[in-house]
Structure formats: C-alpha cells, structure tokens
Amino acid sequence: MTTLRIAEIFGPTIQGEGALIGEPTLFVRAGGCDYRCSWCDSLHAVDSAYRHTWAPMSSEEVWTELRRLSGDRPLTISLSGGNPAIQDFGPLIALGRAAGYRFACETQGSVARPWFGDLDTLVLSPKPPSSGEQVDWGAFAKCVAAGHSARSTVMKIVIFDRADYDWAKDAHARHPDLPLYLQPGNPEVDPEVPVDPQGLADRLGWLTDTAMADNWFAPRILPQLHVLIWGNKRGV
Amino acid sequence: MTTLRIAEIFGPTIQGEGALIGEPTLFVRAGGCDYRCSWCDSLHAVDSAYRHTWAPMSSEEVWTELRRLSGDRPLTISLSGGNPAIQDFGPLIALGRAAGYRFACETQGSVARPWFGDLDTLVLSPKPPSSGEQVDWGAFAKCVAAGHSARSTVMKIVIFDRADYDWAKDAHARHPDLPLYLQPGNPEVDPEVPVDPQGLADRLGWLTDTAMADNWFAPRILPQLHVLIWGNKRGV
C-alpha cells in the first residue's frame, strides 16, 4: 500500500490562480520537492526541516478526509506541493474519480507520472531563471506526453522580472499548443507579514503592461487571489 | 448599412472579469442601455446625457479601428456596453470572424439577437435585486436559446449583499447548465476616486466565505482585475 507524505489537506476554498481560478476546490499539499526555488512560498511542504510535520497517510486516509471536508459533494481536488509528482497519487485519483470528483495537479514538470493522464487538468509550471532552478526540457516533454489523455494540460509561469518574462516567451515557443498562464511573482512569502494588496495590484499591472507593450497576446495574465484575500496564511 | 453607437473602443488589455479573465482582449463598448442599474459602473455608455459622446460608426469603421489597435493580430473582441444587444453587431462579428478574431459579448439577457449564435462566448449577466432592475426570465431564456450555437454561454452575476447572493442561487436553479461566475459588486465607481484594493480584497473574501460556509460550490468566484489594477479609469 502506498504511503503518502502530506503537508496539508484543506478546503473547500477557491482556487486562487491559473486555469481554474475562482473554482471551489479541495487542496492536498504533498510534502517533499526536488526543487528549491529561491522564492518558494510553500517551504513548509518542501524543506526537509519540516518533514516531521508531514503526515504519513494512505490514499484511503486522504480520501476519507477529502470526503469529510466536502461533505461528499464531488468537487475539484488540487494536488500541489512541494512536487506531488514525486509521490504516487494514482490510487487517490482512482478513488476520487469513481465518486465523481475532478482532479487537477500542479507540478513543475520534472517528473512524469502515468497518472497524469487520469487528471482533468495538468498544470505544468516550469520555473524561470529567478527561481535559481534549471528546467530539464526533456523531462518536461515527458510530462506533457504523460498528460496526453488528461482533459487539459496547461503551462503556468511565475514572473518576477524582465528576464523571467523573456524566458517565458522561449518556454511558450517550445510548447505553443499548451494554453499559457502568467502570474506575477509574490516576493512577500512570510506568513507572519501582511501582504500589501496595492503591491500585488502593481505587480499585476506591470506584467500586463509589459506583455501588452510587447504585443504578446498568447498568455492569460492572472494574479494569486488567495494572496490578495488572505495574504500568506496557510490552509485557506 | 447599420450605424452603431460606440462609447469606447480600446485595448488590447486583459479581460478583467468572468470566464475569460486574464485574456488579452479588445473592447468595444456600445452606447445605450435598456437598464438603469443603481450601481452602474459604465454610466457614460448608458445614460442619454452622454449620448453626444457616442460615435456613430459603421461596422466597417469599427472593424478598421480594431485591426489598427491589434496590429492585425487576431485577438478576442469583447462587445460590452451599455447593452450591446440593443444594436446589430452581426456585421462586425462576420468581418472579425473571417479574419480569425474571436468574439465575446456581455449583456444582461433582456434582448435576444440571432448573432448571439456566432459568438465564441456569450456572457449573460442577469441583474440582482440591488440593481433596482427586474429580470424578465422569459426574455432571458430567449437569449440562452439564441446563443445555442455559440461556443459557450455562461452566466455572470454581480453580488453586493446577501439578498443578491440568495437571488443568484435561484437564478442558477433556473439555468443550472450555464457555467456560473459570481463577482463582488464594486461600490466605488467614480473614476476620479482611487479604488481601495484592500476593500476589493475584503469583498472578494466575503463572497468566498459566504459561498463556502453555505456549501454552494457551483459558481466560480472572481474579482474585477481591471478595478484592482486601474481603479475606475476608462480605456484600460
């Protein structure tokens, strides 16, 4: 039996970003990640220093908790992390789909999994230069291929600066068929420090102005609504 | 030849709300409306006192301006108002579609038009009690029927208070097959007064909390990004 390492399960609340923005969603945040992005906003699900806070749970136990949180109403379940693709979420997806739940998964695209094909929405988020990580585009292409039978596969890129923006254009050129979502990076990741909504608005305005002035109309440009509403608080 | 009354043509900029949120879009705001919503944020396209500012334009003239603004790149064109359905946008849609542009139309659903069926996205926004208007659900159903060959038809409802929220549940029950979008109302509509982004965040949080506490998971809940970024300035 697969044992999963789970940092958080919460919801329902709205999906704050990307293709399903605004959609009532249950979140399963997996513990553990093969990346260490400089601006990571979920270090509690990434850094091994937090490993003792990750609950070892069977797929059935996760499923029981999701049913409880949703009152058995079939919602969208978002698998995030950390990188959920370093664990086996196939059995959980099978349990949920059988009950009419829909699944999305957010992953950087470094590890391909057969269960990507069972998702409703596969969100691949290659990390731009500001992250300090380097994308393996061969591995990324394997993720796209693994998701071929998902209902939709999209690309989402976080943009902190002009170098990230230029990089996103190259990334899009590699996979022009994937619907593309850009979101301004959030430099305010301390859960104890309130987020400045005007700063968030300004970053969204900057990214919009940059793309429009550049006549680049391929991406949809969206903020992180959860940060706007709740700052960096966890579990919302 | 049809002469259109046009309050504004602007863009490209991102669509700030609803199903196409974040999508680079050209906007055609039609002058004239059969409603007088108490909280209307586009009175300059509604009130006859502004009629002298509405340009009489042929469909070809509007199309020429849209081509200029987009540099001939086929984008999404949003027809809004006012109520665009009181005018004949069929010829403009035909011109644009032949060149690969996509069309969305935002209307309250009081007047059905054959050209609804030629749209990519028909957004029907029935007005809740706080508007002071009364929805004619028979006319609304005719709009849904007229849009049957549109790529998608969605319902969007602005929510100012609990009465609007309860009304939205009834509206959804009448048309459960239409994907539903809720957005918090914006009480700050004076273009000269800066919008308070924290207030916008609080209203979005209230609406999200209300729906989640009520276990109502049908709608997607989204803010107005253009208000967040630009306040109530026109032409952005």
Would you state the pLDDT for residue B1? Answer: 66
Q: Give percent above pLDDT 90 in chain A.
A: 91
- 3-class SS of residue A84: helix
Element (DSSP H or E) covering residue A95: helix A90-98
Number of H helices, E strands in chain B: 6, 9
Name the binding residues of A for S-adenosyl-L-methionine. 39-41, 82, 125-127
User: What residue numbers bound the domain in which B126 lies?
Assistant: 3-230
Q: How confident is the model at residue A31 (pLDDT cuts 50, 70, 90)?
A: very high
Predicted interface score ipTM higher than 0.90: yes
Alpha helix locations (H) across B46-189?
59-70, 90-98, 137-146, 162-174
Examine residue A30 and state whether it is found in any structural domain, yes or no.
yes
Examine residue A49 and state whether it is found in any structural domain, yes or no.
yes
| Number of domains present in the structure of chain A | 1
Contacts of A21 in chain B (CB under 8 A): 21-22, 220, 222
Per-residue pLDDT of chain B (236 residues; tens, 9 = 90+): 689 999 999 999 999 999 999 999 999 999 999 999 999 989 999 999 999 999 999 999 999 999 999 999 999 999 999 999 999 999 999 999 999 999 999 999 999 999 999 999 999 999 999 999 999 999 999 999 999 999 999 999 999 999 999 999 999 999 999 999 999 999 887 878 888 889 999 999 999 999 999 999 999 999 999 999 998 777 77
Name the binding residues of A. 14-16, 29, 33, 37, 39-42, 80, 82, 125-127
Examine residue A19 and state whether it is found in any structural domain, yes or no.
yes
Is the pLDDT score of A234 beyond 80? no
| Residue A163 tokens, joined | 């170098």
Q: Name the minimum distance, in Å, from the CA of B92 to any CA of chain A.
A: 22
Residue type, A187: P
Element (DSSP H or E) covering residue B30: strand B24-30
Return the higher-pLDDT residue of A231 and A131: A131
CA B176/CA B197 separation, integer angstroms: 32
CA dihedral A159, A164, A166, A170 (to 10 degrees): -90
- Do residues A83 and A109 make contact, with C-beta atoms less than 8 angstroms apart? no
- Among B21, B73, B230, select the one facing A217 at the smallest CB separation: B73
Would you state the pLDDT for residue B61? Answer: 98
**Of the ranges A42-51, A86-95, B16-25, B127-136, which one carries the lowest mean pLDDT score?**
A42-51
Examine residue A130 and state whether it is found in any structural domain, yes or no.
yes
Examine residue B236 and state whether it is found in any structural domain, yes or no.
no
B222/A223 touch (CB, cutoff 8 Å), yes or no: no
The burial class, CB within 10 Å (0-12 / 13-18 / 19+), for A224 is buried
Mutate to test the interface with B, among A14, A206, A210, A227 (most CBs of B within 10 A): A14
CATH classification at residue B205: 3.20.20.70
Q: What is the pLDDT of residues A123-177, one digit of tens each?
A: 999 999 999 999 999 999 999 999 999 999 999 999 999 999 999 999 999 999 9
Q: Does A201 touch chain B (CB under 8 A)?
A: yes
| Residue A47 tokens, joined | 């850094």
Examine residue A236 and state whether it is found in any structural domain, yes or no.
no
Examine residue A235 and state whether it is found in any structural domain, yes or no.
no
Is the pLDDT score of A75 beyond 70? yes
B contact residues 66-85, partner A, Cβ 8 Å cutoff: 71, 73, 75
**Which residue is closest to A219 within chain B, CA to CA?**
B23
Beta bridge partners of residue B107, listed in sequence order: B124
